[in-house]
Structure 1
Amino acid sequence: MVNTAELKSSGARWLLPVLLTVQFLVSLDMSVVNIALPDIGDDLGFGADSLLWVVNAYALAFGGLLMLGGRLADVVGRRRTLIAGFVVFGVASLVGGLAQTPGQLLAARAVQGAGAAALAPVALALITVNYAAGPARSRALGLWGAAGALGGAVGVMAGGLLTDWAGWRSVMLINVPVVLAVLLLSRHGVPADRRTGTSPRLDVTGALLVTAGMAALVLGLVRTETYAWGSGTTLGTLGAAAVLLGAFAVVESRSREPLLRLGLLGNRPVLSADAFALLMSSGQFAAFYFTSLYLQEVMAYGSTAAGAAFLPFCGGIVAGSVISARTVGRFGERALLVTGGLLGAVGFGWFAVTVGPDGTFLGSVLGPSLVASVGIGMCFVPLGAAATSGVASEETGMASGLLNSSRQLGGSLGLAVLVTVASGVTGERRGPGGLADGYATAFGVAAALLVAAAVATAVLHRAPARPRPAKTYARENSPKNPGGGVDPGVSRSTHG
């Protein structure tokens, strides 16, 4: 645990628990409903084609609004954004738990995703600005990363247990008391927003374009189970996303106060971290999904047993995070990302070899789970550090939103692609043998994605650029400053 004395500011001892809860809840609610889907469908009368939207509605809102959520933290204040996000998330959880129709539940899940999109970037930004670089920040980032990964794994486990013991509504309502408790802690544990100088403005045009573009991109990806990759619906949706995101890039390159300063990607650690997050999440999210399917559809585990089988993932992630927090100062971010990525690839490759129609927990799941999760856990400390390395305090929300967008996009892309790959291998063979062959192939592709992440980091990662004021870029290459550089009239602003 990080001591209060290690904080750069006078933040209270409850700051880190609040931020870890944020990361845990955001990840938990991505997966906690998965095992409850059949019960939800039976109770509320969902059709077969619409049931998956209980998951997709959250993913769509979350992925579409992450960049906006990250920048809001810079513009209106991190504490305000955090509290507002918690309120939205908690109310949506309550409404979802009490839903009586499919429409009510889907609307609640979408609003939950919107609240999560405000929460996820601000948690990383608050760690970056409140914990001094070195052991204090490394420990905080290690716990932050472990909380996110644990949320995904525990979500599967908790979804099974809660559904069996208390009914599907409990997977939504369990958030409410947690949110209330953390809101009380946030009033005293999160430093108040303080600003000097001119307040930045929100790039409304950029926000609209990136939200619509990311939403279209995620929508196109999550619907590939219903509409084939080559269908007019999928191609049209992805094409619209490309046009919207291209327009966003053009607008941001000309904006005086952009939602995303494109020059941020010239920072090599930031670029390598986002590329790593995209590729690692593509493999990790899909691997969690196929592990759950393998346990239930091939090994015939019930909901509770399948959830309990994810305990090795949880333990390995914690162990990997502890290892990286203690060694990142000695070996550096690049070495740990490459090592963790390759170790995760070994674990997923091991899955590809061992999963079969006659697999057992000890022979097919336990060993690969531990190896893969330790490798993934090793990546979170260096990933969070690299994603904000050399970034000015005024742009930490921007950088955090970019990292979380990369993770979310990677998860959606990887799941869509690997489901297609697995289905192509399985074909009409719906028995245990055919399913196991499809899952094994998907695990092999997941391993290749983590190898690609390690290679990308080895090539891209370099020493960070020096931080610069958030508004320096606002007047670079402007008519009054054609040569670029720092305009002496630009003021700096900071958050507490």
Structure 2
Amino acid sequence: MALVVVCLGQLMMVVDMTIVNVALPVIQRDLQFSQADLTWVVGAYLISYGSFLLLAGRLGDLLGRKRVFLAGTAIFTVASLACGIADSQLALIAARFAQGFGGAIATSVILALIATDFPRPDQRVKAMGAYMFVVTSGGSLGLLLGGALVESVDWHWIFTVNVPIGIAVLALGARLIEDRPGLGLRSGIDVAGSILMTTSAMTAVYAIITAAEHGWGSAHTLGWLGAAAILGVSFLVLQSRIKNPILPLRILRVRSLIGASVVRGFLVTGMFGTWVMGSLYVEHVLGYGAWATGLAFLPMTLIVGALSLGTTARVMGLLGPARTVIVGLLIVVGALTLLSTVGADTAYFPTLFFAFGLMGLGMGTAMLPLMTIAMSDVRPEDAGLGSGIINVSMQLAGALGIAVLGTLASDRSSELTNSGQSALEALTGGYTLAFEVAAGAVIVGIVIALVALRVPPREREPVPGSEVAVEV
């Protein structure tokens, strides 16, 4: 039951990342946002969420993961209510920042909770399967739920729907999640390192999400990226010289964790490319409404759900986690390649149906073994930090992927419009270029996986009833 609780909390927060996208046009009209200011409805959440993941993950190791998870869920729930009753631009943006803060605190320790609650390999794989279903299907569910709420009720409900769910997670989590003590703060806490780590991440995410507005080569973007790099280097130097670092540098030498996190980052670029560019394509080019857009992604969600019931685990048992990752990534490349062939009048069947279905098949195949590999060699006392690193890789890759793909699509559409093509053809040309670039990013992920995930095989004592080989 504890697994159900943490997965429900994760689902609430993953859904929130995409549910807002469907409601942005309505929010813009209601609160009279300019186009530039509207981006901060999403940007405030991304900056806050991406900035606090690592720090929150380490605090989970130190203070206790149950305590940190419940605190983050409480903040997220209250912030969701604040978003739902917001009647001004400033109130909504501030509440979204608080939402991201709470979401980062809660989600940063979920993988660590799963890893420590399910120590046996067969149990852990099944638990990870449930978690990966939530992560990979939540984006599609957010589009579907957002469309339904916006068209049938009001945009405020996309936020207030979180309140009863959050209360349920808090009530059940307090009773069902095992309360394991953290390492404690006997040696104090690395305040300077915490500040440097958070400001470095915040600066980097801010630079990425504003790059589309200012240009990647602008003084604004390069200046903020440079500041993030300086802060990041200063942080690493500090961590190497103090006795109680917030980020023990030994974690960066865990090859399986770092390799799987990098590969996952490239995969997330393909995932977000499909969610964001795919939804824009079916809405702006094909003319789908919010509800129809959510339904269009249903094959992806259903296939991910079916794979999480044990199919991916059995494939891992046959091929091993690393090979299963490669198979999943190749399928994702196939899905993005198919999406890159769409035109201004492409029908949903068969092209989009099969493309979204293939994306679900690839995501559902690759994500679980990536998580298994990532956490396989992380020390129990570093599990929260490892979980934070994995989540940061997803967040930064998602923000960077959306920014780069959005910029490329916009520039390409402008070029095609200037060359005399119709508005729909120009939009389509921009989106197909984005799909091609996303496919290229996943191919880079495949190359890295072939190198970084090829760790020496290790013989381990098989666990009775295990369905999955533990060789990584």
Q: Decide which of 451, 457, 473 is 2:449's aligned counterpart.
A: 457
- Superposed displacement of residue 201, structure 1: 4.0
Q: Answer whether contact 1:269 1:463 (CA < 8 A) is retained.
A: no
Alignment partner, residue 6 of structure 1 = none
Query: Which of 124, 135, 138 is the equivalent residue of 1:151?
Result: 138
Q: Distance between the aligned counterparts of 2:449 and 2:242, measured in 1?
A: 30
Change beyond 3 A, Cα 1:199–1:285: farther
Offset at 1:180?
A: 0.5
SS of equivalent residue, structure 1 residue 388: helix
Helix, strand or coil: the match of 1:34? helix
Q: Which moved more, 1:260-269 or 1:175-184?
A: 260-269
Are the counterparts in 1 of residues 274 and 435 from structure 2 also a CA contact under 8 Å? Answer: yes
Q: Give me the whole-angstrom Cα distance separating, in 2, the residues matched to 1:206 and 1:278.
A: 25
Question: Structure 2 matches for 1:173-192, cutoff 5 A?
Answer: 173-192=160-179
Q: 2:238 aligns with which of 232, 242, 251?
A: 251
Please list, as runs of the form range in 1=range in 2, the aligned pairs for 1:100-139 lying within 5 A after superposition: 100-139=87-126
1:45 is matched with which residue: 16, 22, 32?
Answer: 32
Query: Is the aligned partner of 1:431 residue 2:423?
Result: yes
CA deviations 1:209-229 (Å, max 9, x no partner) are: 111111111111111221111
CA contact (8 A) 2:251 2:382 kept: no
Question: Which of residues 298, 311, 320 in structure 2 aligns to 1:323?
Answer: 311
Give the aligned partner of residue 446 of structure 1. Answer: 438
Q: Which 4+ residue blocks in structure 1 deviate beyond 6 angstroms?
A: none
Q: CA deviation at 1:111?
A: 0.5
Change (3 A) 1:98 1:198: closer
Trace 1:33-432 onto structure 2 (pairs within 5 A).
33-194=20-181, 199=186, 201-321=188-308, 322-353=310-341, 355-428=342-415, 429=417, 431-432=423-424
Distance in structure 2 (CA, Å) of the matches to 1:256 and 1:418:
42
Q: Distance in 2 between matches of 1:340 and 1:317?
A: 12
Deviation of the 1:82 alpha carbon: 0.8
Moved more, 22-31 or 87-96: 22-31
Matched residue SS, 2:38: coil
Amino acid corresponding to residue 322 of structure 2 in structure 1:
R
Q: Deviations over 1:443-464 (max 9, x none)?
A: 1111111121122111012149
Over aligned residue pairs, what C-alpha RMSD do you find? 1.7
Confirm or deny: 8 A CA contact 1:212 1:244 kept in the other structure. Answer: yes
- Change in Cα spacing, 1:289 to 1:134, as seen in structure 2 (3 Å) is same
Report the CA distance shift for 1:382/1:46 in structure 2 as closer, same or farther (over 3 A).
same
Whether the 8 Å CA contact 1:22–1:123 is kept in 2: the answer is no
Q: Normalization by structure 2: what TM-score?
A: 0.92
TM-score (norm 1): 0.88
Cα pair distance change 1:300/1:190, threshold 3 Å? same
| One-letter code aligned to 1:342 | L
- CA drift of 1:196 comes to 7.4
- Aligned partner of 1:459: which letter? V
CA distance in 2, matches of 1:308, 1:387: 32
Residue 173 of structure 1, CA deviation: 0.2
Uncovered stretches (5+) of structure 2, i.e. residues with no partner: 460-472
Point out the more displaced range, 41-50 or 143-152.
Answer: 41-50
Q: Deviations over 1:153-189 (max 9, x none)?
A: 1111111111111110000000000001111110111
Q: Percent identity?
A: 35
1:368-399 CA deviation, whole Å, 9 max, x = no partner? 11111111111222122122111111100000
Distance 2:365 2:190 in 1: 36
Distance 1:397 1:94 in 2: 28
Asked whether the equivalents of residues 253 and 262 of structure 1 are also in contact (C-alpha less than 8 Å), the reply is yes
Code of the aligned partner of 1:435: L
Q: How many residue pairs were aligned?
A: 452
Aligned partners of 1:18 and 1:185 also within 8 Å: yes
C-alpha separation in 2, matches of 1:184 and 1:197: 25
Secondary structure, counterpart of 1:155 in structure 2? helix
1:242-268 CA distance string (max 9 Å, x none): 111111111122232222222222222
Contact 1:339 1:454 in 2 (8 A): no
Bigger drift between 325-334 and 356-365 goes to 325-334
Checking the alignment, whether the CA contact within 8 Å between 1:286 and 1:414 is kept in structure 2 is: yes
1:200: Cα distance to partner? 6.0
Q: Structure 1 regions of 5+ residues with no counterpart?
A: 1-13, 467-496
Counterpart-to-counterpart distance in 1, 2:87 and 2:184: 49
Deviation, 1:197, is: 8.3
* 1:233 aligned partner, one-letter code: H
Asked whether the equivalents of residues 17 and 139 of structure 2 are also in contact (C-alpha less than 8 Å), the reply is yes
Q: Once the 2 structures are TM-superposed, how far is the Cα of residue 272 of structure 1 from its aligned partner? A: 1.2
What is the one-letter code of the residue matched to 1:91?
Answer: V
Deviation at 1:198, TM superposition (A): 7.5
In 2, the alpha carbon distance for the partners of 1:79 and 1:463 equals 35
Higher share of residues assigned helix: 2
